Amino acid sequence: MLNYKAPLRDIRFVLHELVEASKTWESMKSDWDVGEDMVDAILEEGAKFAENEVAPLNQSGDKEGCQFNSGEVTTPKGFKEAYKKYIEGGWPSMPAPEEVGGQGLPKLINIVMSEILGSANWSWYMYPGLSHGAIHTLMKHGTPEQQEVYLTKLVSGEWTGTMCLTEAHCGSDLGILKTKASPNADGSYNITGTKIFISAGEHDLADNIVHIVIARIDGAPAGTKGISLFIVPKFLPNADGSIGEKNGVACGSIEHKMGIKASATCVMNFDNAKGFLVGTENKGMSSMFTFMNSARIGTAIQGVCHAEGSFQGALAYAKDRIAMRSLSGVKAPEREADPIIVHPDIRRMLLTQKAFAEGGRALCYYLGLQNDIASTSTNEQERQEADDLLAFLTPIAKAFLTEVGLESANHGMQVFGGHGYISEWGMEQHVRDARISTIYEGTTGIQSLDLLGRKVLMSQGEMLRKFTKRVHVFCKGHIDTENMQEFVEPLSKLNREWIDVTTKIGMSALQNRDEVGAASVDYLMYSGYITMGFLWAKAAEVAYAKLEAGTDEEDFYKAKIQTAQFYFKRILPRTQSHKLCLEGGADVLMSMDVDHFSF
């Protein structure tokens, strides 16, 4: 059985030494009381809650699952009690503004807590996790009246939020949705339709559930140009904010799933349910992207969670399990065989997990800091640059980190050998739970099209160049630093190649637009490896500086450098296989006649 421990030392390394978050926060908002000591205190308490209250429910919740009975969902034993303690601890309110009952803390701190809680028990964290997207959406697009009614309860955690997009006949192609919105005389709308795959659409943890729903108003244009966004609460609030009558929304069933079994994935039926327009009619998709981008960052964190959790389990097992002797000589003469961690292939898998967990953490926190800058900085140029970086990096983080998170979960299971296939160890649960992450909130393919098509080619490479410029400045700054050459030389070469590869795809796409779709996934993975390489090079830079200055944590910093070296020697070369694949073009994919796909 796994015993999750929050990796606080590495979390502090990324926050305080790599991205230097507190310095950035202080420069933007002097009254933010978020020094390193305060942040550490928050995270230490969060780690205790995750380890003692949430993590013990992970395997039991997976085994028990959710129960559905006549439209009501019962969560596994202990979930409701843990959620009550979560509210009592004030954890839901950290990133929300003080004027709506929040603590006004930087969003990055909430991202760190999302990682800690998600690693402890991803199914449990999905219930409060989507509320942050609902809060952000209503903060940005809701009316003052809507904010007054809903935000305080969502911020406190008394109510939870959902995102209702998908329908049975349309997944990512939301332009063909059928859910209707008919206007009422009082300014509300009657919402009618069915949504599927709604995470936490029904449960017994909170008093009310606020559904954020997309629908088409009667007579609206076809396609995405006719989509509007609505608040549809499970219970209609009374004038004093208390819970009123039941709305016309009900859970029709819950899905039986491969993983995240303790998280209710619901079919939601809206039968003339009263809804309230958010933002402007027919502009719902742009408003919904506020929620979707928040959810995509949250899903990127899931990749880190499963890489970290699986690594912790695999590492402990590899140190204890004995099998055969090391080919380079006996390592544990007092035992009848050597621990499997001495074998190169086990090291390969463990180091891959470690590189992806720590590198993914760096990417998510780097992204979170850009989010804080974009939403808080008073410098317009700084805010715009951060917003562009956020837009560019979000699809990379969501797709790349979930793909390598799944790879890491598979490695963890493999380290255990046959025991990994047995449920009591918890490793196969990581594989099952991680598998959905590459699908929901936009599949890897959808994220790849967003990156290459919308963010890179539609901006004529401008968003890409803004990031590659940062990489170039970093590499140039270490052109004469001897111990950094093994990092900056390959990184600098790839940074230049990235622009060339992008230009070639753009030129090919002018002749055949299918070239974008054919290249997109390999392009995103190629981009992801370079992006993570940049962050690992920066981590090595910090570690070398600490060692040269003198430290009583030599082992930690040496391990950081050694992991960076592993990444550059054994992981970063994957870029070349992706480059060759994307250069293979669309013809080999599209030339076969549909009828020839036979069996």
Distance of CA 149 to the CA centre of its chain: 29
Close Cβ partners of 513 (under 8 Å, ≥ 6 residues apart): none
- Token pair of 492 as six digits: 């600098």
Paired with 270 in beta bridges are 193, 249
22, 37 contact by CB (below 8 A)? no
Nearest Cα to 301, choosing from 125, 475, 461, 167? 125
**Total Cβ atoms within 10 A of residue 158:** 15
How many helices and strands (H and E) does the chain possess?
21, 11
Distance of CA 102 to the CA centre of its chain: 22
Q: HSE-up of 155 (CA within 13 Å, CB side)?
A: 23
- Token pair of 302 as six digits: 């899931």
Q: Distance between CA 524 and CA 398 in Å, rounded?
A: 10
Q: Look up 441 and say whether it is catalytic.
A: yes
Nearest Cα to 277, choosing from 228, 333, 206? 228
297, 111 contact by CB (below 8 A)? yes
60, 75 contact by CB (below 8 A)? no
Active site residue: 53, 115, 308, 441, which one? 441
Write the DSSP symbol of residue 334. T
Residues designated as active site: 441
